[in-house]
Amino acid sequence: MSDQLAAAAAAMGLPEALVQRSAEARSEETGASVEDILAQWVAGETAPVAAAPQAPPVEEAAEPDEALPEEATTTPEIVIEVPDGAETPTPAPQPIAVGPYKPPVLVGHEDSPMTLLAGVVGLFIIVMMVGLVGPSIPVDEPGARSSEIAFSEAALAGREVYAVSGCAACHTQMVRPVVADVGLGAVTLNDTNQILGTRRFGPDLSDVGSRVGSDQMQAIVAGQGTHPAHNLSPTDLESLVAYLSESRTSSGPAPS
C-alpha cells in the first residue's frame, strides 16, 4: 500500500500523510477499502475535493469559505499549506466550486487592531491605577491609631511560616467595623503588617495572642480539635507560635 500511497501522493502533489488520512476518511464513509481508493486516485479518477486541483484531498475540506476569511465576497486565491520541505503548489486561477451564494456570517467592520490594542493597554493601566494603587496608599491621619505591630525577629520569621503553610487560606487577620466582628479585637487599619486573608473558615487570628496561650497554640497546630495537623519543624513551629503570640491588637499600641 505504501507504493500506492506514494504514487497517489505524487499524482496529487500532496504529502503522503494527508493523502492517507483522506483515503481512510473516504474508506470509512464509502465502505471501499483504502487500497481501492488509492488506486482510483493514482488512476486519476475523481479527486476528493471539489475545489481547485491543489486543494487537499479531504472530504469537505473544500468548503472554501471555511478556511478563508468569511468576509471575503470575491473568490479568493488560495494557497495550500504544506509541510516544510515540500514543494509549494502553484495556485490555479480557477474558480472554486461553491454552492448558491449565501451572505457571509462572520462579518466584521474595517478597523485598526492597533487602536484596539492601545485601548486595551490604556484601560489596563487605568484599572490598575485605580484598583490596585489607590487602595494601597496609606492614609496618614495625625493622631490616628496604628495597626502596625512591632514584631520580633522570630515573629517575622513566623509570619513567613504562616504564609507558606497556607494559614491565610482559612484564617483572616482582619477585624472589620461590622457586627460580625465585634469582640475579635481592634479594627484593622491600613498600616497593618499582619496577613489579611479573605476567607474565614477558621477563627480570625489578628488578636489570637490575647486569647490563646502558646502551649495551646502548639497543640492546635499539631492537630488538636478540628484543626488539620501541620508537620512543622521545631524551629518553624516556634517561629509560628511567636508570630501568633505577638498578634495582639486588643490592647493596641500607644497612641501617637
Partner 1 sequence: MADTRNADIRALLGGGSTEDRLAAIHFMVGALFLVIGGAIQLLSLVALRFADLLPISYGLLEPAANLTLMIGFAAISLVGGVYYVVPRLTGARLRNATLGGLGLAGMAGLTGLGVVAILTGLGDGGQPLGLAWWLDIPLALVLFIPAMITLDTIRHRTERRSFVTLWFVVGGVVWLPLLYLAHLVTELPFASQVGIAFAETFFSAGFVTMFLVTVGSGLVYYTTVKEMDLPLASRQLALVGFWSLGFAAAWWGAAQLLFGPGPDWVAGVAAALGLAFPLGALANAANVSMTLEGSWSRLAEQPGVLSGVIGLYLTVGVAAVAALAGFRSVGSVAATTPLWEAIEYVLLAGVATLLVSGVAFAALPRIVGRELETKAKARRFHRLTVTGAVGVLVTLGGAGVLAGYSWIGGSNSGAYIDAGEGWAAGMGASYDTLVLAAVVFGIVLFAGLGGYASIVFGTVARGRAASQEVLVAKVARDE
| Residues from 152 through 211 that contact partner 1 (CB under 8 A) | 162-172, 174, 176-184, 188-204, 211
The burial class, CB within 10 Å (0-12 / 13-18 / 19+), for 145 is: middle
- Binding residue for partner 1 (CB under 8 A) from 113, 142, 234, 255? 113
C-alpha cell at 132: 490596585
Residues touching partner 1: how many (CB under 8 A)?
A: 105
Could you say which residues in the range 221-250 bind partner 1, by CB under 8 A? Answer: 223, 226-230
Q: Which is nearer to partner 1, 93 or 108 (CB)?
A: 108
C-alpha cell at 210: 490575647
Question: Residue 167 and residue 160: Cα distance in Å, rounded?
Answer: 10
Look at residue 23 and give its three-state secondary structure: helix
Question: Residue 123 and residue 118: Cα distance in Å, rounded?
Answer: 8
Question: Residue 212 and residue 54: Cα distance in Å, rounded?
Answer: 79
Q: What region does 236 belong to: left with phi over 0, alpha with psi -120 to 50, or beta?
A: alpha
Q: Does 150 interact with partner 1 (rule: CB under 8 A)?
A: no
Q: Does 10 interact with partner 1 (rule: CB under 8 A)?
A: no
Q: Which is nearer to partner 1, 175 or 242 (CB)?
A: 175
- Binding residue for partner 1 (CB under 8 A) from 106, 141, 143, 215? 106
Minimal distance in Å, beta carbon 192 to partner 1? 5
Q: Which backbone phi and psi does 39 adopt, to 5 degrees?
A: -60, -40
x/- track of binding to partner 1 for residues 86-105 (CB under 8 A): ----------------xx-x
Residue span binding partner 1 (CB under 8 A) among the ranges 34-42, 133-141, 238-246, 248-256: 133-141
